[in-house]
Structure 1
Amino acid sequence: MKIVSLLLLTLFFAKGCTNQNKIDMSTASIEYNTVTRGSNKTILVENQTVAVSSKRGEKSLPTPISDADWKLLVAEFQKLNLEGIPNLKAPTEKRFYDGAAIANLKIKYQGKTYETKGFDHGFPPQEIEKIVTQIVSFTQK
């Protein structure tokens, strides 16, 4: 009887721990911004929609993201180390001489904001490369 109780208790606690690791993307907001001297582009992903604006302060209508693309984005989001995002180092420095637009990734999740330092558009840090590529692909469809 003690063994059965112990097994049930272990399964109960194990199930509780796995549910805590699930990420609720409906409360997350991901903003990718690129800036050069003559242009500004912002991609905002929230609650399975994407809004793209080409002017500062411009509000654009959000368009829905397909279920397949949303699942890919959620999978990449779950792999992120949000606390490490502000410390990521840019792999290239083309933005220093106008060789690339300056890009930033900002994630708002559970009341906290995680933002990268500037990096070259098209050359994100390796840790966020897949999620940035996925976000940018929404503007090319």
Structure 2
Amino acid sequence: MSAKECNENKSQASDETSTDTTSELAEMRVAQNQVKVTYRASTRGFFEVIEIEGDSISFTNDYNLKEINTFAIPAEEKEEFNRLLSELDISELSELEPPSKTHQYDAAPAAFLKVTKGDEIFMTPSFDHGKPPKAINDIIEKILSIKSMFEKH
């Protein structure tokens, strides 16, 4: 085999590997874009819904869901959010125990986290807004942090 043939074979093998990696990354992006994460907290005097889907965040305090603000999430924030989401075992969300239950008698807004992936929905039991179960604390903080970037002060 000549050196030229060897280089052509290496180049072809490299192109195949590159194509495989590119398609895997594309599939991961498509999978992440099909995921919708919803955080909702409410009580008699308080209502908040925050949704992250694709590269955007939407939020409202309007009970009627008519005034919804939507913004593009900066790439570095989206990357960090996706990292936190990938570390979360969403199949176990329904089994999480809230650290406190003051939301059961209106002493705190009741909150939950819902992850919709395709046709599947994974949801936590309700917990106190501001005191999520430890397993989801970081992702809740990230959601609230991204929202605060776009709130009018």
Match of 1:52 among 49, 55, 59: 59
1:127 maps to 2:135: yes
Could you list the runs of 5+ residues in structure 1 that have no partner in the other structure? 1-11
Structure 2 matches for 1:6-21, cutoff 5 A? none
Give, in whole Å, the separation in 1 of the partners of 2:125 and 2:147. Answer: 22
Aligned-pair distance for 1:93?
A: 1.6
Normalising by structure 1, what TM-score? 0.80
* SS of corresponding position for 1:91: coil
Structure number with larger C-alpha Rg: 2
Paired amino acid for 2:57: V
Q: Which residue of 1 aligns with 2:125?
A: 117
Structure 2 distance, partners of 1:37, 1:100, is 10
Instruction: Tell me the SS of whatever aligns to 2:114.
Output: strand
Deviation at 1:61, TM superposition (A): 3.6
Aligned length: 127
68, 74, 77: which one pairs with 1:69?
Answer: 77
**Aligned partner letter, 1:127:** A
In structure 2, what is the equivalent of residue 87 of structure 1? 95
SS at match of 2:111: strand
Select the residue among 39, 42, 63 that pairs with 1:32: 39
Structure 2: unaligned runs, 5 residues or longer: 1-16
Q: Secondary structure at the match of 1:44?
A: strand
The alpha-carbon deviation at position 57 of structure 1 amounts to: 3.4
CA distance in 1, matches of 2:64, 2:82: 27
Structure 1 position 108, deviation (Å)? 0.2
Distance in 2 (alpha carbons) for counterparts of 1:139 and 1:48: 13
Q: Distance in 2 between matches of 1:72 and 1:99?
A: 32
Q: Which secondary structure does the structure 2 equivalent of 1:62 belong to?
A: strand
Query: TM-score, normalising length from structure 2?
Result: 0.75
Distance in 1, matches of 2:110 and 2:49, equals 12
Q: Which AA in structure 2 matches 1:39?
A: F
Identical positions, percent:
22
